Structure 1
Amino acid sequence: MKKIYTLIFVLVAIAGQAQYKYGLKVTNLQEYKHSVKLNPNKELIDLEKFIPGIVLDIRYATTNNFTGEKIYDLAKAYARKPVAEALKRAQAELQKQGLGIKVYDAYRPYKATVRFYEVYKDTTYVASPYRGSRHNRGCAIDMTLINLKTGEELKMPTGYDSFQKEAWPSTPVKDPEARKNRALIIDVMRKQGFKVNGSEWWHYDFTGWKNYEVLDIDFEQL
């Protein structure tokens, strides 16, 4: 009987997966909760509560972003448990240097990725809705570094969400301060299992992202 109930749940879950116009099936709240029971590492962790001293500047909860629209109703940052733990270790390492992490974005509902693509279709800078984003999997962090005493951001090659080649981590940087800071953030995150995105110095993908599903769960539901 238990096997029958399990089979029924699986079939219902498959049927209930959201089917979008781009053909990608994504995981909803019910399916997410079931996956967490099976694997606690899949839990989305509230970074502000989990990492002491972390600063949030969630641009998509404001109109101060490339879309000019308010995408999120809440200024929150979530990440899968191993991602949150790795980011916490990075924060601890940076604190020894009087520095800290400011998060611009973390877990991102799939519907937001769809909106980004519809506003700006260049997949050099926005994820394809046909595959989903690593943000949608709860395995990507958009961030910068701050001075803990002043709260000011460290100088970087560009601002956040700059759709310019200067934002690429491979682009040579003339300014020695910006070059040093970019190298530091990339190195600290690499040590904790993150890889910098090829076109965004601020975007870091957790190396185990393939183990997690694309989600479309609003912050209010978490």
Structure 2
Amino acid sequence: MERKGNLIKLTDLSSDFIIDLKYATPHNFTGVQVYQSADCWLDEHTAQILIKAKEIFEKDGYQVKIWDAYRPIRAQKRFWEIMPNDDFIARPPDMTKIKKFRPTHMNGMCVDVTLTDKEGNEIEMPSPFDTMDERASLNYSGHSETGRRNGEYLKQVMESVGFQAYECEWWHFYDVSTDPAPFSDYEI
């Protein structure tokens, strides 16, 4: 199994995910390809609990689609240059000042996911991925009943295995069930 620090390729552990890393294509809010590779890298513990969630979703007839996972610091800096908005883009870290780490994409301990049916068709969720306004929150009052219900189900299962939902983005989950690894800048 190939490793980069605390990171492993998710497909080395399971091939049962739909990997659609949006930032490995120009089809994202930046309009350009940010990642060099579409390989999905995650912290090993984060990958293990994501597999637990996937198994629950599979029993209920769903597949998991991954839109984002590990993100190098250089990519975070690029996102911040394009959209300096703390609600949707984390400010890039000053690595000379960091004393304590937290789960983020920059250590592979966050994942952006949605659900599909068994054929791989995305199910209705509260909003499209990277909706960068109030509609991205599960708490937004304008969601359809189906979208809200599916978003709540996603949140419930992800939190049951050790993730914590981010209130501003229904698709974003932090691994809060293990100690955070340092941030890194591996080329992906």
Same-fold call, TM cutoff 0.5: yes
Identity of aligned residues (%): 30
What one-letter code is carried by the residue in structure 2 that aligns with 1:79? L
Structure 1 residues 50 and 177, CA gap change in structure 2 (3 angstroms): same
Greater Rg, structure 1 or structure 2?
1
Secondary structure class of the residue paired with 1:136: helix
Superposition pairs of residues 43-122 of structure 1, within 5 angstroms: 44-122=7-85
What one-letter code is carried by the residue in structure 2 that aligns with 1:143? V
Task: Tell me how many residue pairs correspond in the alignment.
Answer: 179
Match of 2:124 in 1: 155
Residues 158-206 of structure 1 show CA distances to partners (whole Å, capped at 9, x for unaligned) of 1101101011122235412111100110001000110111211010000
Q: Which has the larger share of helix?
A: 1
Q: Is the 8 A contact 2:88 2:168 kept in 1?
A: yes
Distance 1:131 1:101 in 2: 33
Secondary structure class of the residue paired with 1:212: coil
Distance 1:186 1:131 in 2: 31
Distance 1:189 1:158 in 2: 18
Structure 1 residues 109 and 174, CA gap change in structure 2 (3 angstroms): closer
Q: Is the 8 A contact 2:138 2:148 kept in 1?
A: no
Q: Is the 8 A contact 1:137 1:209 kept in 2?
A: no
Match of 2:92 in 1: 129
Matched, 1:146 2:116: yes
Please, which runs of 5 or more residues in structure 1 have no aligned partner?
1-31, 37-41
Stretch of structure 1 that moved more, 115-124 or 48-57? 48-57
Q: Which of residues 185, 196, 217 is equivalent to 2:165?
A: 196
Query: 1:208: how far off?
Result: 4.3
Q: Is the 8 A contact 2:109 2:180 kept in 1?
A: no
Distance 1:174 1:119 in 2: 27
Match of 2:98 in 1: none
Secondary structure class of the residue paired with 2:32: coil
Match of 1:181 in 2: 150
Higher relative contact order (CA 8 A, sep 6+): 2
Distance 2:114 2:45 in 1: 20
Secondary structure class of the residue paired with 2:105: coil
What one-letter code is carried by the residue in structure 1 that aligns with 2:56? E
Superposition pairs of residues 20-59 of structure 1, within 5 angstroms: 42=6, 44-59=7-22
Stretch of structure 1 that moved more, 183-192 or 127-136? 127-136
Distance 2:136 2:73 in 1: 24
Q: Is the 8 A contact 1:77 1:106 kept in 2?
A: yes
Stretch of structure 1 that moved more, 190-199 or 47-56? 47-56
Structure-2-length-normalised TM-score: 0.89
Secondary structure class of the residue paired with 1:141: strand
Stretch of structure 1 that moved more, 172-181 or 155-164? 172-181
Match of 1:205 in 2: 174
Secondary structure class of the residue paired with 2:172: strand
